[in-house]
Amino acid sequence: MAHPPVAHPPSAPPPIAHPIAGAAPRLFGDHFLAALDPDERGLIERLRALCRSSFGPQAAAVARQDVFAWETFRMLAHEGIVATAFPRDCGGTDARQALRIRIIEELGRVCSTSASIITGTDLSSRAIVAGASAELRQAIVPRLCTGEQQAAFALTEPGAGSDVRGLQTLMRRQGGAYIVNGRKKFITRASTADWFVVVGKIEDEPANFVAVLIHRDAPGLGISPEVGKLGWFGVPISSLRFENVQVSAGHRLGAEGEGFSLAQDALLRARIGHAAMALGRAIGAVEIAATYATDREVFGKALGEHQGVQWMLADMVTQIEASRALLALTADKYDRGDADTAIFASMAKLQATDLCMKVVTDALQLTGGRGYLQDFPLERFFRDAKLNQIGEGASEVHKTVIGRDLVRRARQAERNPCLREGSLADY
């Protein structure tokens, strides 16, 4: 006997229609969209349409040379995607991380430039949103939200990358201002940013971290020409030099001593973004490899009918879905304000970015010589994948953070009931 149809309870969101009526189902399931409300799903549907019409087809041209992708940036701003990073009182839509990871994954699937513009917005603007005075916030954040202006995040220095506590940029108090001296390296969007979030220390107070907001025209600020790099084209980097740059105390973000935590707050969101971008790229790589495996015949049958190829694809899809689940959990933790969100963000970033590098490498292998051609998207995916393992904390740094936390918790955690009382050293 057929089961009667199951009625959805009134509070349940309506079933998800396919974004484009009649379109083929996607290779990777839309299961995570069920957690979004109808407005949020509508945004994803519009974004998918843009990926099909613009971001996907234009990605290769955007990534041909490393100049700022103005057209992509303006489109993301015009469509309200940039605004998802900003609070409502400044004109933004204050999107949950549960939605932001879906946005960034969609973009990362086709175009790392557009995805990195969105994660970079979190990185560069978060300290302004969280730490600027009400007056400064209202003067600047609405313009960042519309894309009229841009900010850059200047933390890394020649002598302080993974170990950011070693910053050498010094700020000297002088009347109602700070005098800033130092150097910053690898600063994304430095050539186009109107504002720089600069993190340094108060002179002679090595534990007193301070973040300030400096305008690009400030006397004494030098911005180097753009520096060539392997991938992530469309979002160039430069170095900065500060020589007696004067910043009014009103442009300090947060209180003195809060510079490090403001930077960590921005990095937390950006790490979640890196994980989503990496998973989007991994999904795109599998889609491309799987299409090749159906189109290409070798030894008398489709490439995808060979068991060895199926096993490679099976490993990719299984690990990607597991990683997506970890990231979705992390986003929920962020949205709830759970105390362990930062550790989960480290795990999600570590897992997703290392996985992406492996998946893109294997997908390129599966597409043979074509995968190695500049004309084929996987060459770009391959070059872009590497930075996700380095930026916003290298994989090894995240492993250190996660391992240290585990060992600390092990001291207080419930003992496994299989164990005898006393020290295990006495077994």
Ligand X SMILES: Cc1cc2nc3c(=O)[nH]c(=O)nc-3n(C[C@H](O)[C@H](O)[C@H](O)COP(=O)(O)OP(=O)(O)OC[C@H]3O[C@@H](n4cnc5c(N)ncnc54)[C@H](O)[C@@H]3O)c2cc1C
Tell me whether residue 162 or residue 174 sits nearer to ligand X (CB atom).
Answer: 162
Of 54, 58, 156, 323, which one interacts with ligand X (CB under 6 A)? Answer: 156
Smallest distance, ligand X to C-beta of residue 263, A: 8
Stretch that binds ligand X, among 25-33, 53-61, 106-114, 386-394 (CB under 6 A): 386-394
The residues in 27-66 that bind ligand X, with binding defined as CB under 6 A, are: none
Task: Tell me the window of 70-78, 140-148, 154-162, 213-221 that interacts with ligand X (CB under 6 A).
Answer: 154-162
154 binds ligand X (CB under 6 A): yes
Q: Is residue 73 involved in binding ligand X (CB under 6 A)? A: no
DSSP symbols for 248-301: EGGGEESSTT-HHHHHHHHHHHHHHHHHHHHHHHHHHHHHHHHHHHHH-EETTE
Minimal distance in Å, beta carbon 160 to ligand X? 7
Q: Which of 48/269 has CB closer to ligand X? A: 269
N- to C-terminal Cα separation, the chain = 60
Active-site residue, 392 included: yes
User: Residue 139: is it exposed, middle or buried by C-beta count within 10 angstroms (0-12/13-18/19+)?
Assistant: exposed
Q: What is the size of the binding site for ligand X (CB under 6 A)?
A: 19
320 φ/ψ sector (left φ>0, alpha ψ -120 to 50, else beta): alpha
Footprint (CB under 6 A) of ligand X, residues 170-189:
186-188
- Distance from C-alpha of 362 to C-alpha of 368, rounded to nearest angstrom: 10
The footprint of ligand X on residues 397-416 (CB under 6 A) is: 397, 400
Q: Which is nearest to 274 in space by CA: 154, 166, 112, 412?
A: 112
Contact range with ligand X by CB under 6 A, out of 25-33, 34-42, 52-60, 387-395: 387-395
Structure tokens given for 162: 């993974």
| Choice from 396, 403, 408, 409 touching ligand X (CB under 6 A) | 396
From the list 79, 305, 392, 396, the catalytic residue is 392
* Whole-Å CA distances, 166 to 159, 197, 208, 267: 7, 18, 12, 17
- Kind and range of the H or E element at 198? strand 195-202
Helix (H) or strand (E) holding 242: strand 237-248
Q: Which residues contact 78 (CB under 8 A, 6 or more apart)?
A: 147
Site string for ligand X, 199-238 (x = CB under 6 A): ------------------------------x--x----x-
| 394 near ligand X, judged by CB under 6 A | yes
Token pair of 121 as six digits: 């917005």
Positions annotated as catalytic residues are 392
For binding to ligand X (CB under 6 A), which residues are involved? 153-156, 161-162, 186-188, 229, 232, 237, 387, 390-391, 394, 396-397, 400
